[in-house]
Amino acid sequence: MADLILILMEAVSAILCFILVRFMIKPYYTTREGRYLGLPLGFGFLGVSYIFMGLSLYFEAFLFVEDLKWLQLFTQAYAVAFLAATYFFSKKTAENKRLWWDLTYAALIFALIVSYLVVFEPPMFSLPSYKTVDEYFRIFNIVCLAYISIHTLKSHVSQPDPKTIWIPISYLMFGFAQYSSLIWSLDSSFSAYVGAHLLRLLGLSIFVFVVYQAFFGKRMTFLKGEIEAEEATA
Amino acid sequence: MKIYGDLLFILYRESRKEKVVLTRVQLKINVPFDRLKKYITELVELGLIEDEISLKLTEKGKSYIREYEKVLDFMKRMGLTYQ
């Protein structure tokens, strides 16, 4: 029963991520600047990682479950790396940094392929145990998410606006979810494991709320008001 | 890309007041005049503005800036800087 609930949580998380990808790609479509591609790629990889996790829980007795867990580890780490790269490059001016963000994204994709080959393709290298690598990856995820949280918090503090506080909160929740997973990995505490899932779901729900507010919220922006007033008088 | 969005905003506001004066637009957007002319030609070719009696946004241009404004608002909410 507990497994079924966890699988369901993974499925819901994956669905929420793929819904978010649909909107996260809009900054790239509108600006045509590669640095914003990290947002849809990040949420896409995050969704894929939840699918791998769900599958590894569902096929617990099968041999390939270890492979699924490794894949989950990589995809999640790449997800946060892409997100962190997006925030890092967003504060640079477009003119002089285009080459750098293109190189960074290319390097991340290359690293993803190499890591897949190292783990799954023969000759296999003797890697540390999954548990040890999992802990290192969790720490890496926490560092990236802390960077993003600080970046978004700074952005909120520089131009205080109630609508910009939600994103730092949700990234912090992602960070705490990773921390909870680390605790679970160290002491196998079931409450930490469930807590990680709940925090992550809460974080994703906040993202969906922000997307809804931005694209479907009944706000009257300055320009929208102007255009509608003009159309009403026409 | 940002310059095109900003230019569309300025052109929209200017065209609502009276005939669009390019030197005033140039002052607001702060680019050399020949580059401004080039941007305007590109926007006309894209069908976002029309250059008849005066410059004004087409329906496509208006829907573009509506979407552009939404995306800018979304990016602000996401804590992303666009410069």
CATH number of the domain where residue A110 is located: 1.20.1070
Interchain CB contact of B38 with A (< 8 Å):
no
Q: Which residues contact A132 (CB under 8 A, 6 or more apart)?
A: none
Provide the token pair at A144. Answer: 């990236």
Quote the number of domains for chain A: 1
Interchain CB contact of B42 with A (< 8 Å):
no
User: Any alpha helices (H) in chain B, and if so which ranges?
Assistant: 2-17, 22-29, 33-45, 59-77
Confidence of residue A221 (pLDDT cuts 50, 70, 90): low
pLDDT value, residue A201: 93
Cβ pair B77, A214 in contact under 8 A: yes
Q: What distances in angstroms separate CA A148 from CA A38, A112, B69, one per listed residue?
A: 13, 21, 24
Whether pLDDT at A234 is above 70: no
Least confident of A71-75, A144-148, A202-206: A71-75
**Hunting for tokens 């290298």 — which residue is that?**
A125
Least confident of A133-147, A164-178, A211-225: A211-225
> How large is the average pLDDT for residues B30-52?
86
Domain at B2-77, CATH from 1.20.1090.10, 3.40.50.10860, 3.40.50.1820, 1.10.10.10: 1.10.10.10
Residues of A engaging B, defined by a Cβ cutoff of 8 Å:
23, 26-27, 30-33, 36, 39, 86-87, 90-91, 93-94, 151-153, 155-156, 159, 161, 163-164, 166-168, 210-211, 213-215, 221, 223-224, 226-227, 230
Q: What span, in angstroms and rounded, lies between the C-alpha atoms of A19 and A198?
A: 19
Q: How far apart are the first and last CA of chain B?
A: 10
Query: Mutation test of the interface with chain B: which of A223, A224, A230, A231, choosing the one with the most B Cβ atoms within 10 A?
Result: A223
| φ, ψ for residue B49, nearest 5 deg | -135, 160
Q: What distances in angstroms separate CA A209 from CA A13, A68, A144, A177, B9, one per listed residue?
A: 14, 31, 23, 19, 28
Question: ipTM of the assembly?
Answer: 0.82
Cβ pair B36, B29 in contact under 8 A: yes
Confidence of residue A229 (pLDDT cuts 50, 70, 90): low
Q: Quick check: B83 and A94 CB within 8 A?
A: yes
Angle CA(A70)–CA(A74)–CA(A77) in degrees, nearest 5? 140
pLDDT tens readout for residues A132-164: 888 899 999 999 999 999 999 998 998 888 888
Nearest Cα of chain A lies from the Cα of B82 at a distance, in angstroms, of: 6
pTM of the model: 0.83
A152 to chain B: which residues are within 8 Å by CB?
78-79
Nearest Cα of chain A lies from the Cα of B62 at a distance, in angstroms, of: 8
